[in-house]
Amino acid sequence: MKTRQIPLQQYAFLNKYLEGDNESFFEIISPQIGFVVIDFNLLEERLTSFLCQIISDRSDAKGLIITHSMSYNAKVDLLDRYAGYMNNIREKSIESHRKLIEDIKESGRLRNLVVHAEWDTVDKDGYAFVKLRSQRNDIVQEFAQLDVDSLIDIRNKIIDTYNSFDTYEEWYYDAL
């Protein structure tokens, strides 16, 4: 996904594309945005389910009590710390642990870009305002190209991360 940064002008809206009718663009990308949200929800549920399994293999209740009010990032942190601890006491490491954690975090970052983008600012090239950044005594507005191809790439990343849980679970339980 391509991004660009533009220094903040006197007024933030001056860098945002607010011309023309974006309805046809929205009609094209809306299904992909929905698929990103659905696939991410499946990934988060898979993460929660795995946490429940490793917390207690007898019932999901303990795991659900623990994870009930946790944010996505808190669940990722719990998995990282818990699996890291188990790897340490078993003196075995799961090869794919670090990559899975990075992929889960990246999936969350990409989902947030899509969900929190200012879609009404999208220009004819598919760039939408996604974030305000402070950089060396300057403020810049970040725009991400969230066109159909980019959204499909994001969706595929989330699906690949979801699917990588199969291998990770095998390695996790083999290490027990």
* pLDDT (tens digit per residue) in 63-85: 999 999 999 999 999 999 998 88
Residue 144 DSSP class: E
**What pLDDT is recorded for position 13?**
61
Residues 6 or more apart from 33 whose CB is under 8 A from it?
A: 114, 151
Q: What is the CA radius of gyration of the chain?
A: 20
Query: For residue 67, is it left (φ>0), alpha (ψ between -120 and 50) or beta?
Result: alpha
CA atoms within 13 A on the CB side of 24: 5
Query: Is residue 7's pLDDT more than 80?
Result: no
Answer yes or no: are the C-beta atoms of 157 and 107 closer than 8 Å. yes
Instruction: Give the global pTM.
Output: 0.86
Residues 6 or more apart from 111 whose CB is under 8 A from it?
A: 36, 37, 40, 154, 158
Between CA 141 and CA 6 the distance in angstroms is 5
Confidence of residue 114 (pLDDT cuts 50, 70, 90): very high
Confidence of residue 119 (pLDDT cuts 50, 70, 90): confident
Answer yes or no: are the C-beta atoms of 107 and 43 closer than 8 Å. yes
Query: Is residue 45's pLDDT more than 80?
Result: yes
Mean pLDDT confidence for 113-127: 87
| φ/ψ of residue 81, rounded to 5 | -70, -45
Answer yes or no: are the C-beta atoms of 119 and 98 closer than 8 Å. no
Query: Is residue 93's pLDDT more than 90?
Result: no
**What pLDDT is recorded for position 141?**
83
Q: What's the one-letter identity of residue 102? A: E
Query: Is residue 14's pLDDT more than 60?
Result: no
